[in-house]
Structure 1
Amino acid sequence: MKMTRIFVAALAALGLSGIAWASTAGQREAEHFHWHNAGPFGTFDREAVQRGLQIYQEVCSSCHSLDLIHFRNLGEAGGPFESAEFPNANDNAIVMQIAAGYMIEDGPDDAGDMFERPGVPSDAFPSPFANPQQARGSNGGALPPDLSLIIKARHHGQDYVHSLLLGFNEEVPADVHVAPGKHYNPYFPGGVIAMAPPLFEGSVTYADGTEATMEQMSEDIVTFLTWASDPHMEARKQMGVMVLLYLFIFAILVYIAYRQIWAKVKH
């Protein structure tokens, strides 16, 4: 039983133990895309994660938080700005520059007052709103979800978010009523979503010169959010491979021992 649990854990680490769930009623099935990080040996496309971070900063961060990600995660092993020159992510120059671009509320100071300071690598990405009530008030009553685990929290994960981002130009069916301030998207449960289309051709100017098409931007932000939901995915998969290799070798040794023991037993 213990070996079975270890084997299942190894499969999970490799991403091979997915469970198929039924589609949500009234929701079009997400389109399937090929992802660089898919499969037991898949890895993150670092450049795509970096571009996705740029989209989050310039487009998504005005409404959506990223509460579970700290700036230092960007420079840690498996992160988009991992560097052999800066093994300590807190010393990573790029990470420090990104963090310093945010103003973080801190305190209280000696006078008991809160104050703002430039961010440091140990800080988490700041939320665009002070509380859920403010977030709802700024978004017509809808609460923008935190994006830290959005890929893991949605059925079909990457495929769903990618399809959703590209699904705003669909024609509204005659039997679907879209209230003022709402938008039709066939990949969202019920077909009506409060979020306006977040991406348009050329929404961002990529620092690396990549053409900012809708498909490219959607793929990049989804890749970044996938990394954010599982920053240690690559290390986990490597561990899974090592565990399966160990179990394979162990099984061979057990079989050899079995043959040696029973070879001496007379029939």
Structure 2
Amino acid sequence: MFRKLTLTAVTTLAMATAPAIAAEVETEIEDYAFSFEGPFGSFDQMQLQRGLQVYTEICSACHGLELVAFRNLHDEGGPGLPEDQMRAYAEFYEVFDQSLFDGEGDFRPATPADKFPSSSLSNAPDLSLMAKARAGFHGPAGTGINQLVKGMGGAEYIASLMTGYHEEPECAADANMDGQYNVAFAAGGFPASCIDEHGHHMVPGSWISMSQPLYGDDVEYADGHSTDLEHVAQDVAAFLMWTAEPKMMARKQAGLTGVLFLTVLTVLLYLTNKRLWAPHKKKH
């Protein structure tokens, strides 16, 4: 009887028995009301700036944003930093430039054209697309109904993960598990003592190797916004949603313009059709 199941072991167990076993890994994802949700939603610029601060002061020690350029922090649809602040922010980072010292390369201060550094730890994932890579909501039996109503919920997943660290349940008291118990994380280790005789997990979530990064009051906001755990988690989640979808506002505007154009075109075609065929209908 082994004491811990790694991610590989859990997957193998699910595949070797029945598909229902994999579905038994439940998670607790909070449905936060982010301003950018819905067809008319938009990013809260102040929230993105606060999220950038949380990423800079806490998350960047391990995680990178290698697909995001510093110049994008100046975008209107994003954090909207003034150009001088954006340039000053970029200079806090160093990037390796292969063209320096006759091709041998050396580090230099970053410029707006450079991108954020990659993750500093080999096992720390890059966060550029994390909000799109993780789904917060899943439909019953894989139908995707919740995703149709609520969306993918990547930002909700990140915020819930940040607030999902809890004390170990009683069933794992003697399991000597590695990592920390998190009710929003389903892909980590899980003790056999928390699995019932039918193979179902008795508690939500699993054990995650990442130490708890946020505790509340981790940062001090210049705008005086609340720094409790839930608000800080939502701020950094919103920022990571922007890094994954930096052109979301432009895409929504283009979509709404297209819908409006098609609506007007439909009305014009209907009136044209009615005018063309009206004389012929009267003859019959």
The answer, yes or no, to whether TM exceeds 0.5 is: yes
CA shift at 1:145, angstroms? Answer: 1.5
Indicate the residue corresponding to 2:125 in structure 1: 145
| Unmatched runs of 5 consecutive residues or more in structure 2 | 1-21, 137-153, 188-205
> Any idea what SS the aligned residue of 2:72 has?
helix
Contact 2:77 2:249 in 1 (8 A): yes
Indicate the residue corresponding to 2:267 in structure 1: 252
Question: Residues of 1 paired with 2:128 and 2:219: CA distance?
Answer: 21
Larger radius of gyration: 2
CA shift at 1:171, angstroms? Answer: 4.0
Q: 1:254 to 1:28 in 2, by over 3 A?
A: same
Q: 1:183 to 1:57 in 2, by over 3 A?
A: same
- RCO comparison, higher one (Cα < 8 Å, 6+): 1
What is the one-letter code of the residue matched to 2:87?
Answer: M
Q: Deviations over 1:61-117 (max 9, x none)?
A: 11111111000001023121255xxxxxxxx11110110111111123243321111
Contact 2:28 2:160 in 1 (8 A): no
CA shift at 1:255, angstroms? Answer: 0.5
Q: Deviations over 1:137-182 (max 9, x none)?
A: xxxxxx22111111111112111111111010254251584623x1
RMSD: 1.9
4+ aligned runs moved over 3 Å, structure 1: 175-178
Indicate the residue corresponding to 2:177 in structure 1: 179
Counting only pairs closer than 5 Å after superposition, residues 59-70 of structure 1 correspond to structure 2 as 59-70=58-69
Question: Residues of 1 paired with 2:28 and 2:230: CA distance?
Answer: 18
Question: Residues of 2 paired with 1:24 and 1:223: CA distance?
Answer: 28
What is the one-letter code of the residue matched to 1:150?
Answer: M
What is the one-letter code of the residue matched to 2:236?
Answer: I
1:113 aligned onto 2:112? no
> Any idea what SS the aligned residue of 1:220 has?
helix
**TM-score scaled by length of structure 1:** 0.79
**TM-score scaled by length of structure 2:** 0.74
What is the one-letter code of the residue matched to 1:193?
Answer: I
Question: Residues of 2 paired with 1:34 and 1:211: CA distance?
Answer: 16
Q: Which of 76, 93, 97 lines up with 1:102 in the alignment?
A: 93
What is the one-letter code of the residue matched to 1:236?
Answer: R
Question: Residues of 1 paired with 2:170 and 2:266: CA distance?
Answer: 58
> Any idea what SS the aligned residue of 1:105 has?
strand
Question: Residues of 2 paired with 1:124 and 1:231: CA distance?
Answer: 14
Counting only pairs closer than 5 Å after superposition, residues 67-106 of structure 1 correspond to structure 2 as 67-81=66-80, 92-106=83-97
Q: Which of 208, 218, 225 lines up with 2:240 in the alignment?
A: 225
**What percentage of aligned pairs have identical amino acids?**
38
Contact 2:119 2:126 in 1 (8 A): no
CA shift at 1:24, angstroms? Answer: 5.5
Q: 1:68 to 1:108 in 2, by over 3 A?
A: same
Q: 1:252 to 1:82 in 2, by over 3 A?
A: farther
Indicate the residue corresponding to 2:135 in structure 1: 155
Contact 1:48 1:224 in 2 (8 A): yes
Q: How many residues align?
A: 225
Q: 1:183 to 1:73 in 2, by over 3 A?
A: same
Question: Residues of 2 paired with 1:251 and 1:173: CA distance?
Answer: 62
What is the one-letter code of the residue matched to 2:109?
Answer: P
Q: 1:165 to 1:259 in 2, by over 3 A?
A: same
Contact 1:25 1:189 in 2 (8 A): no
| Unmatched runs of 5 consecutive residues or more in structure 1 | 1-22, 84-91, 130-134, 137-142
